């Protein structure tokens, strides 16, 4: 192996490829919320050097530039969640299944079906484990309190 030990681009090892969860801050208030396990976050899952996420209007998409979620999203941290031992073909099949299970372009909902829900479903499909609970905790609280949230907020996606 050369340069960087047993890993190369995309976290590929001799045993498989790393599954990385990238977390982004969507609000400056996260600096106060994060220490108590809350925050308004975007997330993406990196496998084979591409980052997969979910957004309103776009549905499931991938980016060849991990850790760059675009304007309004500030990279916070990465979690190494495990090693995926399947093939790229199996990965594409998993994404297709997830799309069919409610992650289409018009199925985004701020608190019921967002990028963090997608990340959790995708990681579960690849590794049979969830993402860290704090990543989507604010949305889960929002589900319980949705009657208190402005209707306009519930109809629009960021």
d(CA 29, CA 50): 29
Q: Is 147 noted as a catalytic residue in this protein?
A: no
Whether 42 sits among the annotated catalytic residues: the reply is: yes
Catalytic-role residue among 12, 22, 41, 42: 42
- The answer to whether 58 and 105 are in contact (CB under 8 A) is yes
Catalytic residue of the set 22, 41, 115, 117: 115
CA 47-119-136 angle, 5° bins: 145
- The tokens of 26 are what? 């969507």
Catalytically active residues are 42, 115
């Amino acid at each position: 192996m050369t340069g960087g030990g047993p890993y190369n681009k995309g976290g590929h090892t001799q045993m498989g490829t790393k599954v990385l969860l990238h977390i982004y801050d969507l609000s400056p208030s996260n600096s106060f919320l994060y220490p108590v396990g809350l925050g308004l976050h975007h997330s993406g899952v990196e496998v084979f050097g591409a980052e997969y996420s979910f957004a309103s209007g776009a549905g499931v998409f991938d980016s060849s530039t991990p850790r760059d979620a675009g304007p309004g999203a500030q990279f916070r941290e990465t979690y190494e969640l495990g090693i995926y031992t399947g093939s790229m073909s199996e990965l594409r099949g998993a994404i297709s299944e997830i799309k069919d299970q409610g992650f289409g372009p018009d199925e985004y909902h701020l608190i019921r079906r967002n990028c963090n829900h997608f990340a959790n479903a995708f990681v579960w499909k690849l590794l049979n484990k969830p993402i860290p609970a704090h990543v989507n905790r604010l949305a889960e609280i929002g589900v319980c309190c949705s009657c208190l949230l402005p209707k306009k907020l519930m109809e629009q996606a960021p």
